[in-house]
Amino acid sequence: MSSCKPIRSLFKHRLTLKSSSPEDPWTIVLYCDEVTPGNPLASLNRRRFHSVYWSFIELGTEALSHEEAWFILMAEFSTVVNCLQGGLSACFAAAVKAFFRDGMDMKRGGLTLSLDGQDTKLFATLGSVLLDGGAHKYVWGARGDGASKFCILCNIYGPASQTSLPKMALTCSVVMLSRCTTWKPPTTLNSAPTCGTCSKDLI
């Protein structure tokens, strides 16, 4: 950041719009995908690699639409990742822990940024993960593109008719679940989780 004036200006401007503190941290967003240089139809492409990028949601949609606002956290050949115990899921877990380890905990200790001679503490916590169908399969252990569940945290399944798909997709709210400390899991396949205090449906 010290050698890139546009990035410094971006962070300085966004911090004036929304400050960062341990009580109100910024939100880290992670993006994981497999990159295939060369011929994607080759039977064995040893140049293929997995990469994990990260950024902050507070930078805004305009900035996040440019690759310069995304920072590389990990890049490793797919042949190496596939040989590891746990595969891509283990690599992704290690990548997440990199933000919250001893000596560099962005949630509790923050990250010191030098913006035009002024040191600023930036606190952040993980809030969003972007994955395609294939990455969903290997990171979360889900079925990916062939799955019928909209959310891996609940038991809401897709309807038989595709006409009601958009309405059904909007009913799953992990945000509401995260705000309830007494929620109870669904009792049947198609029921919703309920609040342990008021017994109302949370989604």
Residues 132 and 153 both lie in one domain:
no
Residues 160 and 61 both lie in one domain:
no
For the chain, the domain total comes to 2
Residues 152 and 142 both lie in one domain:
no
Residues 48 and 138 both lie in one domain:
yes
The 3-class SS string of the chain reads CCCCHHHHHHHHHHHHHCCCCCCCCEEEEEEEEEECCCCCCCCCCCCCEEEEEEEEHHHCHHHHCCHHHCEEEEEEEHHHHCCCCCHHHHHHHHHHHCCEECCEECCCCCEEEEECCEEEEECEEEEEEECCHHHHHHHHCCCHHHCCECCCCCCCECCCCHHHHHHHHCCCCHHHHHCCCCEECCCCCCCCCEECCCCCECC
Residues 198 and 108 both lie in one domain:
no
Residues 137 and 153 both lie in one domain:
no
Residues 57 and 141 both lie in one domain:
yes
Does the predicted model carry a pTM greater than 0.85?
A: no
pLDDT tens digits in sequence order for the chain, 203 residues long: 667 888 888 998 999 899 999 999 999 999 999 888 888 777 778 888 999 999 999 999 999 999 999 999 999 999 999 898 989 999 999 989 989 888 788 888 888 888 877 888 899 999 888 888 788 888 887 776 666 665 666 555 554 444 444 443 334 444 444 454 555 555 555 555 555 545 555 44
Residues 86 and 43 both lie in one domain:
yes
Domain extent for 14: 5-146
